[in-house]
Chains A and B, each alone.
Chain A
Amino acid sequence: MARSAYMTELVRSVRGSLGRFLAIMCIVALGCGFYAGLRMCGPDMRAAADRWYDGSALWDLRVVSTKGLSDAQVERLSKVKGVSQVMASRTADVVCKLGSDQVAVRVTSVDADAARKSKATSAYAVSSSKGSYLNRARLVSGRWPKAAGECVVSADATRKIKVGSTVEVVSASEDVSTILSTTMLKVVGTVSSPDYPYTGSFGSTRLGSGTIGQYVFVTASTFASDYPYTDAYLTVGSARAAVSGSSAYESAVDKVKDRVEKIEGSLAADRLAELKSQAQSRLDAQVAAAQAAAAQAASAGASTDLSAAQQQLAAAQEQVDSMAAPDVYTLDRSQSEGATTYEADTERLDRIATVFPAMFFLVAALVALTTMTRIVDDDRQRIGTHKALGYGKGRIAAMYLGYALLASGLGAVLGICVLTQVLPRIVMDAYSVIYVVPTLEFPLPVDVGTALAAGGLGVGVTLASTLVAVAASLAEVPAALLRPRAPKAGKRILLERVRPLWRRLSFSWKVTFRNLFRYKRRLLMTLAGIAGCSALLLVGFGLHDSIWDIIDRQFGPIVRYNATVTLADGAAQADVDSAIACLRSKGDATGIVRVHTDTMLARGTGSSSAATDKTRVSVVVPQTASKLASAVTLRDRTSGAAIAFGQDSVVVTEKLASLYGIRAGDTIVLYRQDDVGNATGKGVRLKVDAVAENYVGNYVYVGRRAWRRAMGATPSFSTVYARVTGGSKAESRTSDALHDIAGVSTVSFTRQTISTYRHTLSVVDMVVVVLIVSAGALAFIVLYNLTNINVSERVREIASLRVLGFTRREVHAYVYREIAIIALLGDALGMLLGSWLERFVITTAEVDYVMFGREIHPLSFAFAFALAMAFTVAILLLMRPRLDRVDMVESLKSVD
């Protein structure tokens, strides 16, 4: 019986205060949902990638040899314990001509037969009867290549290539004919490969701009007949169950990696022996031929050339004998640019997820506290009656805790169910602009631990607030509870001391000010709610600013050149001169600067891991120091002051400096890198003279003399920066003309880079929308609740005012002025909170090679402030009927 009476009461009280119940429910839903939803973004994205990697049999380990591999070594690798499958393939980076640009392209051989027979069972899985067919790309359009000279290209590249067109290979790091059997590749289809999830860059290369812009798959026959395997891809069966990138995955792979690394030396020796014996047999054949020729010559009586030929052969023999062993490396997915970029992005989301929801929980606590206080106050008599009837404190408190539990529990379930589906989906969709990882389908997985943590926090915060609210009333004796609570006494406020000012105020203003300080909890709740709302809005607009500033400030103000022409190492001076002449004549180019560029690895001087982790940097050495300024603006970001650059100068860009905490006067260490991007040598130490503003990439600008001192050599200055005028037409005209000049290796324009960035950064606009929507929801709940409480608490007062002859408008002003003032204050506070939060998000979300803009534009402050106020006004207008409905007869009723 007691139980049913309890339930009846509970249901009645919910029905009797539906508005308040909904307010608690919604704010808890928002808090828990945001927490769980944001928390699930990272795991969901990792799960999506893992599903794709597993479904397409992506490699776990990759063995690379600088002098290739043969079937014998591949066979040995397959015998390593833990290795499930091995697939050998040939890969080469070449430069292709795509339109007016020359683009670095990665050409990889594919098992054409297995590829043709494979079948895409879904967007994320490709099945094949051949287990050793790895890295299975999904055919998007066209067909797989059958014959030499046919290729499939990436369907995901920002620079699309049409099926049916022909791609011309123009150069490579060595003679193209030693790599490929043909230089014309006919495009027969497009594919999406799990090895290239990130469309911003398909990897780095030593060619051209340093970034792979396209990947193509060809038949093995498209490679030159004696071009050996370059890579062996391995899968580790025991790692399959774990999510790629997780510690379980890494430990499973590392075990096998250790075993593979142990045989690296012997693989290299094997390979060397093979190469030597091949070379030896070739040489032997030559010797035999030479001897035969000599014998013939001798019989003819001419023996003069013999010693020269012998010398040549002896030199060749020496070469064979002194042949060095190849370098063999074992790489895992953490050394694959696409996979790591993706994983880093998901981890960034994890970090952001820890901060944002805190604000919602804080507001939820305040909303619950004010609302429950109000409910308990309304119920004084009932509490008194219960107490008088002999109910214990626990039983009465349970009533309110039950109410709070019901409201917050429903809210938590609702919020978690909805937002763990919606938020990760929006985030994944946003990221699909730059990643081609097939997104998960509904229903998205919900991690039980995360859901429980979110729900527990939301419900816990509400229950704690309720206990605080109930405790005070329960402490009173029943008799006191049965009397109406003495109205909260009016109090003088500090402002009244300022007599002249106070006297000038009208009553509604006086009441407004006194009320502001009378209800502190409500003040706090509203302040926090509105501040949260305007902060979210500011973060949204600020993010937009920071990110679009990258492009707006980098290209034009800082990077003043728009064309980069690289010449082959050791290009003749005449070629450089004709390239420059061509830039001038065809592209009306100005600001022509000859530089040496190099990709190196940099680190700081400390011993902490933050200082020793190396970062890839572009080193730029201008031929003439004074001319650098016409290609690149070196300036201090905060003061805008130009940085002087001379023969001995070393200037690093800001993001790089902040990564290692480098300031003017500190030292940076630069390393050369080997084929797979590992640092070699002891590195050179350079003293940094200044830190320059820069947003995209990490640069070290080194004066010519400083470079020679450090590296002991004068560079070749084989790169030319120039500013071509006349738009894209002039650019393609110039590019065509440049390609006809001997020695010109690549020509690229920033136009392409800019459009890639614009594409990539459109992700942010989606996030801005999400933030604005949630800000609106937050403002709505808080203001609805506040107005509701305000009105119900002051029904008598409002009714009396109406009886006294106050017009509707005057009553609105009387009640709303107070809310409007808090809203203004909260809005202003939100600007502070928002700038801080935006800074946090920016620094968390930044990647190592990009620095986001650091300032929020004044217009964004104005927008965020105005929008938060607009939300407030809209909600107050919406709540007006609630005020108008107050019946004047309420004023006649007794106080109960």
Chain B
Amino acid sequence: MSFVEFEDVSKVYHTGEVEVRALDGMSFSIKKGELAVIVGPSGAGKTTVLNLLGGMDSCTSGTIRLDGQLVSGMGERELTQYRRHDIGFVFQFYNLVQNLTALENVELASQICRDPLPAADVLAQVGLADRLDNFPAQLSGGEQQRVAIARALAKNPKLLLCDEPTGALDYRTGKQILSLLQDSCKAGGRTVVIVTHNLAFTQMADRVIHVREGRAASIETNDHPSDASQVEW
């Protein structure tokens, strides 16, 4: 029984009179506790997968399941609850609330969900024990992304969904963030999905889903993923 399941999912956008088929029969599944990387060039449908899996949009046809729960077909209200309790989202540009400290940014997420992890502990886990009271503007990019990851983790979500998590970071910092994500998967037993255009990330994944023209072009499993610190790009 797979944890995440996309079954023949299509998504059609209408912009004006033009019909854009962003996903065209996308099917894949991810097992619980896996670190999956969804990779592909721009325009292949990565972001649409992210939007659908993250509960930010609904698909046109097909079924999407998370942990046996049918996500496709959820209404706006149910989707909000789904995002609130089941998904931890890590943005490319962190998206921290500038006016809240690191600790408060984490608490911002944890205060709205059912059984959150203690915010200070999570921040300590990501190595920011001594930056709790700093505002985002006082943190470096890597530190900000750690706060964002902590914010996602503190919600104790079923799925950690990351959108180009190293996209705005330099190489060294990017690697540290990848390690942190791999850690929370391996040590924390959390299912992690990373959406990226960077093929190098495939080395550290348990499962790699190549996306091309709205379909899963190939799915590979990697029995011995390399350590994130070994990933080179």
Contacts and interface: CB of A to CB of B under 8 A. Distances in A.
B93 interface: yes
B99 A803 contact: no
Contact of B112 (A488, A805, A888, A891): A805
A511 interface: yes
Contacts of B82: 805
Interface in A338-356: none
A704 interface: no
Contact of A511 (B47, B92, B100, B113): B100
A894 B47 CA distance: 14
A507 B47 CA distance: 30
Nearest to A809: B80
B92 A518 contact: no
- By DSSP majority rule, is chain A's interface helix, strand, loop, or mixed? helix
Contacts of A511: 97, 99-100
Given A507-B108, A889-B51, A487 B98 contact: yes
Interface centre among A491, A515, A796, A892 (most CB of B within 10 A): A892
Contacts of B111: 506-507
Interface stretch (B18-26, B134-142, B209-217): B134-142
Contacts of A892: 47, 50, 91-92, 163
A501 interface: no
B207 interface: no
Interface string B80-94: 111111010101110
Interface in B125-156: 135-138, 151, 155
Nearest to A892: B163
B106 to A, nearest CB: 10
A510 interface: yes
Interface string A495-534: 0000000000011001100110010000000000000000
A894 B93 contact: yes
Contacts of B163: 892
A486 B56 contact: no
Interface string A767-809: 0000000000000000000000000000011011011111110
B136 A804 contact: no
Interface string B21-64: 00000000000000000000000000100110010110000000
Nearest to B133: A492
A797 B80 contact: no
Given A891-B95, A892-B163, A487 B109 contact: no
A490 interface: yes
A489 B95 contact: no
A83 to B, nearest CB: 80
Nearest to A512: B99
A800 B112 CA distance: 14
Contact of B135 (A490, A797, A800): A490
Contacts of B95: 796-797, 799-800, 803, 891
Contacts of B135: 489-491
Interface residues of A, number: 32
A808 to B, nearest CB: 8
Contact of A804 (B77, B98, B104, B109): B109
Contacts of A797: 95, 97-98
B101 interface: yes
A514 B99 CA distance: 7
A219 to B, nearest CB: 85
A894 to B, nearest CB: 6
Nearest to A488: B98
Contacts of A894: 92-93, 168
B107 interface: yes
Interface centre among B81, B93, B101 (most CB of A within 10 A): B93
Interface in A800-822: 800, 802-808, 810
A805 B80 contact: yes
Contacts of A448: none
B100 A800 contact: no
A574 interface: no
Contact of B81 (A796, A799, A802, A805): A805
Nearest to A888: B56
A489 B144 CA distance: 14
Given A797-B97, A803-B56, A489 B137 contact: yes
A878 interface: no
A815 B81 CA distance: 20
A494 interface: no
A490 B109 contact: no
Interface string B155-169: 100000001000010
B158 to A, nearest CB: 13
Nearest to B89: A803
Contact of B137 (A487, A515, A804): A487
A518 B93 CA distance: 22
Interface centre among B57, B87, B99, B155 (most CB of A within 10 A): B99
Contacts of A889: 47, 51, 56-57
Contacts of A491: 135
Given A487-B137, A507-B104, A511-B100, A895 B84 contact: no
Contacts of A515: 99
B83 A490 contact: no
A617 to B, nearest CB: 66
Contacts of B155: 804-805
Contacts of B92: 892, 894
Contact of A510 (B51, B54, B98, B104): B104
A490 B100 contact: yes
A573 B50 CA distance: 107
Contacts of B83: 802-805
A806 B99 contact: no
A514 B163 CA distance: 29
B51 A518 contact: no
Interface centre among A487, A799, A802 (most CB of B within 10 A): A487
Contacts of B77: 807
A491 B83 CA distance: 30
Interface in B163-181: 163, 168
A804 B81 CA distance: 10
A507 B107 CA distance: 8
A799 B84 CA distance: 13
B89 A518 contact: no
B84 to A, nearest CB: 3
A11 to B, nearest CB: 22
Interface centre among B80, B163, B168 (most CB of A within 10 A): B80
Given A510-B100, A511-B97, A804 B51 contact: no
B89 to A, nearest CB: 5
A371 to B, nearest CB: 21
A797 B98 CA distance: 9
B185 to A, nearest CB: 21
A486 B97 contact: no
A486 B137 contact: yes
B136 A806 contact: no
Given A487-B137, A889-B51, A810 B112 contact: yes
23 contacts: A487-B137, A489-B135, A490-B101, A490-B135, A490-B137, A507-B111, A511-B97, A518-B99, A799-B95, A800-B91, A800-B97, A802-B83, A803-B56, A803-B95, A804-B83, A804-B84, A805-B82, A805-B84, A805-B155, A888-B51, A888-B56, A892-B91, A893-B93
Interface of A: 486-491, 506-507, 510-511, 514-515, 518, 796-797, 799-800, 802-808, 810, 888-889, 891-895
The 4 closest A-B pairs by CB, nearest first: A805-B84, A490-B135, A489-B137, A800-B95
Interface of B: 47, 50-51, 54, 56-57, 77, 80-85, 87, 89, 91-93, 95, 97-101, 104, 107-109, 111-113, 135-138, 151, 155, 163, 168
Given A489-B98, A797-B98, 11 more contacts: A490-B135, A506-B111, A507-B104, A511-B97, A799-B95, A803-B83, A803-B89, A805-B82, A805-B112, A808-B80, A888-B51
